[in-house]
Structure 1
Amino acid sequence: MRARNHRAMTNPHRFRLLALGSLVLGLVAASACSSDDNEATTGGDVDGGKTDGGGGGDAAPLEPFKATVRRTTAGVPHVKADDFGGAGYGYGYAFAEDNLCVLAEEITTVRGERSKYFGDKPYDLGNTASRSNVGSDAYYKMEFTKEVADSYREATPPDAQAMVRGFAAGVSRFVRELKAGQHAGLHAACRDAGWVREISDEDLYLRFYKLNLLASSATFIDGIVAAQPPGASNGFAPSSPSAGGNASRPSAAEMSKAFETWAPKFVAHREGDLGSNMYAFGSDVTGGAGIQFGNPHFPWYGGERLYQIHLTVPGKMDIQGSTLYGVPVVLIGFTQNFAWSHTVSTAYRFTPYQLKLKPGDPLTYIKDGQEKKITPHDMEIEVKQDDGSIQKKTVRLYTSEYGPMIYLGNSFFDWTDTVAYTIRDANAENNRLIRHFFRWNTAKSLDEFKQIHKEEVAVPWVNTTAADRDGNVYYGDITVVPNVPDALATSCSVGLASQVLNDQAQGLPLLDGSKAACDWQIDADSPQPGIFGAGHLPTLASKDYVVNCNDSYWLSNPKTPVTGFAKIIGQIDYAQSLRTRMCHQQVTDRLAGTDGLSGQGITVENVKEMVLRSRVYSAEKSRDAVTTAFCTNPTIELTKDPLTSEVLSPAVQVPVTDACTALKAWDTRNNADSKGSLLWDEFWLRVIAVQSKVRVYNTAFDPKDPLNTPRDIKVDEPLLAQAFAAAVRSVAQAGFAFDAPRSQFAYREGKNGEHIAIPGGFQRTGNFTIAQKDDIALKAGEGYGAMQFGNSYMQVVGFTPTGVDANTFVTYSESSDPGSDRYDDYTRLYSQKQWLKAAFSEDEVAADTKSTLDLEQ
């Protein structure tokens, strides 16, 4: 295949690649970015756009694909093709240019090959993690099979299948070029690695399957690997299972610790640390067309970063937005007529079952008097040793008819001689993900969008809001949820064990696996047996507004609360998170015209400003009361730090005058230049630490006033005075001035470790603009350090009579490769709050085009 470069009169950076119609076996494309006409040859066998995953075999003709990729400001790719396969091909190639290493690691993970290349060590990919590559590989090899991939492929429409094949072919082409020595300077971390290879559509279908399980099984990998019958061990269980009944009932703190240890990503989802904000404003508040704001708070590392892309197949698809790495369809985005976004839903996607075992046989359980077998699976794992050699290790895992056996993190839930625990995952049975989003990507109206939502019931774990050019708005938690009505959850509970689990995860039923009557029910309108149909899932449509910031469906619009749904979907009449209250407060203030912005209505411009003002709910409601109460004396006696439990003996007199001066002057926001926010973070983290022990508010939560209660911080509570003194001491010991700007102690890392100032703070303190990390610990001279997740892809989309008014950010930029010019350019725009006016129409794209690449194979 020959590459020919020529300059276009309108753009000096335009390159064109031409491919021969038929290929001599073994020849591959030369680099699109090469400055000469040299041909390159690599191995790599291709069959219909698919490879054999790196194995041998005779090469076959490449499936033909053709696309044009134009890059605009911040490197956003605009892919145009005559067919869907071509769109996937151009997208796959552009994506690999930017993020090959991350995608290749994800493929290595779902193939169960981490140990082969990385040895046995822990890993963290953002939304999934494991304490052992070997254990993880065993899980993926058992669950992520060819049959799973085939099921996904068969459920995917032919045009969408072509997009998947095209995407795989585009990635594979870039891999061949990289392995041939092209693209100098890119992907230095992985370009020579054996785990970077051409990929197949099968690899991608397994990648989609992993995304399905991000809020369920994939967060319990270590617990699944650790589940072992009495007397057995595969080296991953925390201790020997007890031989007879359950251990004593664990405390709430013990169960919380168990979940944090064995399912940390599940806990992060449940506590809102990994969350999102979204608004959809209708004509009642805009006076015209709808406006959609979307902002997932996903990790800034790993495969669940979001990538901005524009895909056009004339007459069939024209959509822009973001997608998780490796997915060839847009997951959050906009068309000419509507826009939508997502937030993580409160619904559970799985249920554990307690199995009653046959006496004397821990691998047999009894269901309605019939014996059922627990099946062992011996997974052979290749493990790289320190000397580079490969040794094989066999790991035994177990499954029941419901799914994998599971250890729930505490000896109370051990696999004993009498009971064992297993998990059924609704999203493990959902193969409609790509079909659903492909249909959304090609929908012509919000009405069609809503109908697809109801027909497919395939969205794995996120709420949806949407707005259209006619001023309609929509909220729906039409997601994959086990069909467990409250009555079934009650009748099929297993006593104390169900209570203990529900105390830790309210609404999650632990069901009795000894009765067929406890199997999930079937709705007539459900496309998948065992999940709720759309008629039993919450929605709201209006011309007003809808909002979700990771609390349940209940207050999507507080003027019209949504109720009447099963507890497994979400709660009602419960205290909302501080971030959710901030979400609603911003709308209330905007509509009242009391937020300092112009006018009283909702416009694209004031939404853009509103969502990046970095307001902090806890500070707005409590800062003045705190300074009034705790700043009357120059010192406070500190005896114990409520956060660290450090005991001060003798007690320490903590000077607070300078701290109080800084806190009073603080603007109660977490912008990069805000001064005083560090002290408030340290104080509020300690408030959170004591709220399970003492009352921290004078006015308790009232379900009749859920957005204003609880309120009135209880400043006469002695532990809060201790929290304030400890916070002052913590900041002083870390060596930071009390009025240090936020950028000194919380930032985004750019090239070469450069600190890039960004807005935002922690969701726990009631921030709307999020910049977060897993381990919030103030360190001397470092502060909180580099943030790890938070605002990621952002969009504010409105509609004009002539088109779309779309404004976007990818806060961590389009490329994860430090060798790329696109590694932190978008981040620098975000640092300055300079929204990108997203090019969407042909004229807009043409006017902003920085480079063009014509691809063909």
Structure 2
Amino acid sequence: MKNTLSRKPSLRMAVLPLFAISLGLTACGGSGGGGVSGSTPDVEQGDQLAAKIRRSDYGIVHIEAQDNISLGFGYAYAFAQDNLCAIADSYVTVNGERSKYFGPENSWEFTGNGTVNNNLNSDFFFKLLIAEQRVENLLALAPPAGPRPEVRELISGYVKGYNRYLQDTGVDNLPDPTCRGAEWVREISEMDVYRRFYQLALLGSSAVAIDGIGSAQPPGPDSLGTLPLSPEDIASQLGASWKGVQIGSNAIALGSEATQNGRGMLLGNPHFPWNGTERFYQAHLTIPGELDVTGGSLFGVPLVLIGYNKDLAWSHTVSSAWRFTPYRLQLVPGQATSYLVDGQPEDMTAWPLTVEAQVPDGGLQTVERTLYTSRWGPVFTSLLGLPLFPWLPTEAYAMADANATNFRYVNHFWETNRASSSRELLAVLERNQGIPWVNTIAADSAGEALYADISVTPNVSDDMMISCGAPLGLVTGPVLGLPVLDGSRSTCAWLNDDDAIQAGTIGPAKMPHLFRRDYVTNSNDSYWLSNPNEPLEGFARIIGDEGTERTMRTRLGLVMVEERLSGSDGLPGNRFTRQQLQDLLFNDRQHAAELWLDDLLTGCVAMPLVVGTGGPVQSAEACAALSGWDRTDKLDSPGALLFRRFAQNLFITTVPSGTSASQLNFVDVWTTPFDVNNPVYTPSGLNVLNPHVNYALGSAISDLQGAGKAMDESLRTSATESRGAEIIPIHGGPGSLGVFNAISNKWDAAAGYTDVVHGASYVQVVSFDGDACPDARTILTYSQSTNPDSPHFADQTRLYSQSGWVRPQFCESELQGKITETLELSQPLD
């Protein structure tokens, strides 16, 4: 049967010339899980792959198909139109071919965790995974350990859709100049897709040690026999770096007691990279009678990871739980690749690997390297780029990764897309136990809110953390919650729970979750204060800390919700509307200013001369500018730039050596210390007599003077994002300063804050109104396409700059008149 690609006359050819408008729209409605009934898409079935791809405002895609394989087919084709170059680069990475195409000396950033990885080391890391057949072994397992049959069908269709786009377009004719004509762009296989899935599963564990695993080599004869740093210094450096990992998020789920209409409502605000492939793609997926779901999916994953259907909305925040534990190996004297377990020697497994790498003349050479694994996992020498775990003649470290055997997260999201209540979502969590590194926050149409951290976590009890702790672990365990275990004792293997699907992980009964009718929230602190009225306590330290200071972003989220529910926020009533939940995010309040600015202004009288990085400077003009600031990071709030520099300089100058990760929140400048009985409102107050305050203010003034900025400069001209030649001002600010609308951008000493690194990404506010059409607003802050020539490269970024929102179309009645393109795509199944 001949392949068909049907196009119809366009009503908007001048704006979006590729595809036409087709108005055979279907009625919204249906059965459980957001299904659609009575729908009659004009696509062929049987031995055909057939999908209808429609686009609405801002390039949001709506994929409709009769089965999973056709849904994956349509999704991949649409996604490739927008982002093929970005995902093709990832397929090079996960196959260990970066040195071949981009040179062994260059590097790439895994934007999801902020690590920068040398290409050659990265290639050996992924070649090791391939040699061990990690992915192949998981694919050989039956569900839930291996993918469901429906997931396999979805991926089969995804591969066909991706390849069909390349066949239709041709590598030499790709619309994105980034990879047009590139030899590394090729058709893909199912294994490419699954390897990308596996890369994402490891994001919070082995993938923070890509360099450290890929480069680990036995010590030479001249190697020193001791650790270069003390355990306390290692814990300090590791804690500071881990706190800076570029993943985070906020989420608030409201129940029936917190909303005006008595139904559920959700704010999902993941803080993810604005570049690279750990970005979200916005899509609406429909299989009539079975599936109707919309939201954001990470590049290369044809499932909605954060989103909603007609009955349930959910989001995720990065969990505080650790996903791995280093094991200290006691090496056999004189044998750097053998180690002792229970007094008996065990040889490491040697993996001779080869990588093709460019040479200066443009040719290729074969590079050989042998990597080593132990019963605990691969030997590694660094985490997050920190060389803190050297391979010495007497000891080495191996990484045990709880996500090394986890493909269950794909099954989890396939089921979540079809779930119809918070209770059903909890059952999905418990049934699959596959969430690799995030909390889950959800609200349903019946008004029940859920918080859960039922995620893949090594089963290390608090007692075991001490009894099995290696010398380094006796520091990292209590301070960071990270066990470093003694690999010389078999009894120090992870524990087993009867209700855990995966051996060595904590079962659902010992992981925290909470249902509420008022609210739950999380902003990357631990589970403890998901709702301060019902603290979650008594869980293993490896999951998170309890009874400790919360970050300012966590605290502001709780403060804003409590202000609304107490009626003390100046607005009518004491329950949320959908608009008020949106406004909570875009009010751009900065909690650091709310806690410190009054004291700083009082202290200005005693600090007419301040000394910072630029030497002594007068403070009067700066203090006058701050006195008129409204304490927000809105674009036109004079003084916002100055205070941000003050607070960030204060942060930098108040981190003494040995400070733990949980203490990195300005601990030595508070006037009122943390009180476990008042954790939302303490610590507070700024100790202006602390010399760091004087230094930080002086440094901030010098920073603005050096950049040619006025003391009352706003963010409109000094916090921007580049989109080609276009410079777009960006509101919001650092989450570390308690800005809920978290945005992290680079400080340029000559220009201010330029180019967003990570922050608010796919944002959704979803309200249920008792019908089949949720009342939602979304914004994909960095826009739908990575192609600089696409009309959807910057359109939502401009909208975000204006604090605007998209009114997404979920029901067919809402899509009337909103379709800008339609593509009906089909081909033989074989």
TM-score, normalization: structure 2?
0.90
Residues 246 and 759 of structure 1: CA distance in aligned 2, closer, same or farther (over 3 Å): closer
Shift of 1:219: 0.9
Q: Is the 8 A contact 2:5 2:823 kept in 1?
A: no
Matched with 1:163 is 154
Matched with 1:800 is 769
Which string of whole-angstrom CA distances, capped at 9 and with x for unpartnered residues, describes residues 562-614 of structure 1? 00100000000111111111111111222233334443211111001111111
Q: Is the 8 A contact 2:5 2:826 kept in 1?
A: no
Q: 2:348 aligned with 1:374, yes or no?
A: yes
Q: 2:294 aligned with 1:303, yes or no?
A: no
Q: Distance in 1 between matches of 2:302 and 2:379?
A: 33
The one of 193, 201, 219 aligned to 2:208:
219
Residues 379 and 422 of structure 1: CA distance in aligned 2, closer, same or farther (over 3 Å): same
Q: Distance in 1 between matches of 2:447 and 2:388?
A: 53
Which string of whole-angstrom CA distances, capped at 9 and with x for unpartnered residues, describes residues 332-380 of structure 1? 1101111100000000000010111222212111112332111222221
User: Could you tell me which amino acid in structure 2 is paired with residue 759 of structure 1?
Assistant: H
Shift of 1:79: 0.2
The one of 640, 652, 676 aligned to 1:677:
640
Q: Is the 8 A contact 1:669 1:677 kept in 2?
A: yes
Shift of 1:685: 1.4
User: Could you tell me which amino acid in structure 2 is paired with residue 124 of structure 1?
Assistant: E
1:595 aligns to what SS in structure 2?
A: coil
Matched with 1:729 is 702
The one of 681, 703, 712 aligned to 2:685:
712
Write out aligned runs for 1:481-492 (5 A). Answer: 481-492=457-468
Shift of 1:267: 4.7
Q: Distance in 2 between matches of 1:113 and 1:187?
A: 22
Matched with 2:111 is 126
1:847 aligns to what SS in structure 2?
A: coil
Which segment is superposed worse, 368-377 or 131-140? 368-377
Which string of whole-angstrom CA distances, capped at 9 and with x for unpartnered residues, describes residues 135-166 of structure 1? 10000010145833334434111111111111
Q: Is the 8 A contact 1:151 1:431 kept in 2?
A: no
Matched with 2:177 is 188
Q: Distance in 2 between matches of 1:540 and 1:732?
A: 50
Q: Distance in 1 between matches of 2:416 and 2:684?
A: 42
Q: 2:426 aligned with 1:450, yes or no?
A: yes
Q: Distance in 2 between matches of 1:365 and 1:146?
A: 21
Write out aligned runs for 1:99-110 (5 A). Answer: 99-110=83-94
Which string of whole-angstrom CA distances, capped at 9 and with x for unpartnered residues, describes residues 107-145 of structure 1? 100000001000021211312544410110000010145
User: Could you tell me which amino acid in structure 1 is paired with residue 377 of structure 2?
Assistant: G
Which segment is superposed worse, 684-693 or 725-734? 684-693
Q: 2:787 aligned with 1:822, yes or no?
A: no
Shift of 1:268: 2.6
Q: Is the 8 A contact 1:597 1:606 kept in 2?
A: no
Shift of 1:297: 0.5
Q: Is the 8 A contact 1:135 1:395 kept in 2?
A: no
Q: 2:758 aligned with 1:789, yes or no?
A: yes
Residues 820 and 248 of structure 1: CA distance in aligned 2, closer, same or farther (over 3 Å): closer
Which string of whole-angstrom CA distances, capped at 9 and with x for unpartnered residues, describes residues 165-216 of structure 1? 1111111111222326555xx1111021111111111111100000001111
Matched with 1:57 is none
Matched with 2:664 is none
Which segment is superposed worse, 410-419 or 712-721? 410-419
Matched with 1:770 is 742
Q: Distance in 2 between matches of 1:482 and 1:729?
A: 47
Q: Is the 8 A contact 2:547 2:676 kept in 1?
A: yes
Q: 2:627 aligned with 1:664, yes or no?
A: yes
Residues 216 and 522 of structure 1: CA distance in aligned 2, closer, same or farther (over 3 Å): same
Matched with 2:409 is 433
Q: Distance in 1 between matches of 2:388 and 2:7?
A: 70
User: Could you tell me which amino acid in structure 1 is paired with residue 669 of structure 2?
Assistant: V
Residues 12 and 314 of structure 1: CA distance in aligned 2, closer, same or farther (over 3 Å): same
Residues 479 and 5 of structure 1: CA distance in aligned 2, closer, same or farther (over 3 Å): closer
Shift of 1:230: 2.0
Q: Distance in 1 between matches of 2:4 and 2:387?
A: 63
Q: Distance in 2 between matches of 1:12 and 1:777?
A: 41
User: Could you tell me which amino acid in structure 2 is paired with residue 809 of structure 1?
Assistant: I
Q: Distance in 2 between matches of 1:406 and 1:526?
A: 28
Q: Distance in 1 between matches of 2:54 and 2:524?
A: 36
2:270 aligns to what SS in structure 1?
A: strand
Q: Is the 8 A contact 1:292 1:798 kept in 2?
A: yes
Unmatched 5+ stretches in structure 2:
22-45, 141-145, 657-666
Matched with 1:208 is 197
User: Could you tell me which amino acid in structure 2 is paired with residue 753 of structure 1?
Assistant: A
Matched with 1:41 is none
The one of 835, 839, 842 aligned to 2:812:
842
Q: Is the 8 A contact 2:103 2:357 kept in 1?
A: yes
Matched with 1:512 is 486
Q: Is the 8 A contact 2:421 2:445 kept in 1?
A: no
Matched with 1:330 is 304
Which segment is superposed worse, 126-135 or 318-327? 126-135
Matched with 2:33 is none
Matched with 1:753 is 725
Q: Distance in 2 between matches of 1:250 and 1:730?
A: 36
Residues 482 and 320 of structure 1: CA distance in aligned 2, closer, same or farther (over 3 Å): same
Q: 2:483 aligned with 1:498, yes or no?
A: no
Shift of 1:692: 3.8
1:455 aligns to what SS in structure 2?
A: helix
Q: Is the 8 A contact 1:282 1:471 kept in 2?
A: yes
Q: Distance in 1 between matches of 2:215 and 2:95?
A: 20
Residues 379 and 699 of structure 1: CA distance in aligned 2, closer, same or farther (over 3 Å): same
Shift of 1:5: 5.3
Q: Distance in 1 between matches of 2:584 and 2:544?
A: 28
Q: Is the 8 A contact 1:365 1:371 kept in 2?
A: yes
Shift of 1:681: 1.0
1:65 aligns to what SS in structure 2?
A: strand
Q: Is the 8 A contact 2:642 2:713 kept in 1?
A: no
The one of 145, 148, 152 aligned to 2:134:
148
The one of 339, 342, 357 aligned to 1:365:
339
Which string of whole-angstrom CA distances, capped at 9 and with x for unpartnered residues, describes residues 274-321 of structure 1? 210000000111141100110110000011001111000011111001
Which string of whole-angstrom CA distances, capped at 9 and with x for unpartnered residues, describes residues 466-499 of structure 1? 000010000000000001111111110123x223
Q: Is the 8 A contact 1:14 1:853 kept in 2?
A: no
Q: Distance in 2 between matches of 1:148 and 1:138?
A: 14
1:107 aligns to what SS in structure 2?
A: helix
Shift of 1:251: 5.1
1:674 aligns to what SS in structure 2?
A: coil
Which string of whole-angstrom CA distances, capped at 9 and with x for unpartnered residues, describes residues 496-517 of structure 1? x2234347x6110011111111
Count of aligned pairs between the two proteins: 780
Q: 2:618 aligned with 1:655, yes or no?
A: yes
Matched with 2:661 is none
Q: Is the 8 A contact 1:14 1:852 kept in 2?
A: no
1:298 aligns to what SS in structure 2?
A: strand
1:726 aligns to what SS in structure 2?
A: helix
Q: Distance in 1 between matches of 2:47 and 2:289?
A: 23
User: Could you tell me which amino acid in structure 2 is paired with residue 473 of structure 1?
Assistant: A
Which string of whole-angstrom CA distances, capped at 9 and with x for unpartnered residues, describes residues 507-558 of structure 1? 1001111111110111111111110110010000111100000000000000
User: Could you tell me which amino acid in structure 2 is paired with residue 707 of structure 1?
Assistant: V
Matched with 2:663 is none
Residues 498 and 419 of structure 1: CA distance in aligned 2, closer, same or farther (over 3 Å): same
Q: Distance in 2 between matches of 1:310 and 1:502?
A: 43
Q: Is the 8 A contact 1:375 1:400 kept in 2?
A: yes
Q: Is the 8 A contact 2:496 2:504 kept in 1?
A: yes
Higher relative contact order structure (alpha carbons within 8 Å, sequence separation ≥ 6): 2
User: CA RMSD for the aligned pairs?
Assistant: 2.4
Which segment is superposed worse, 98-107 or 695-704? 695-704
Matched with 2:165 is 174
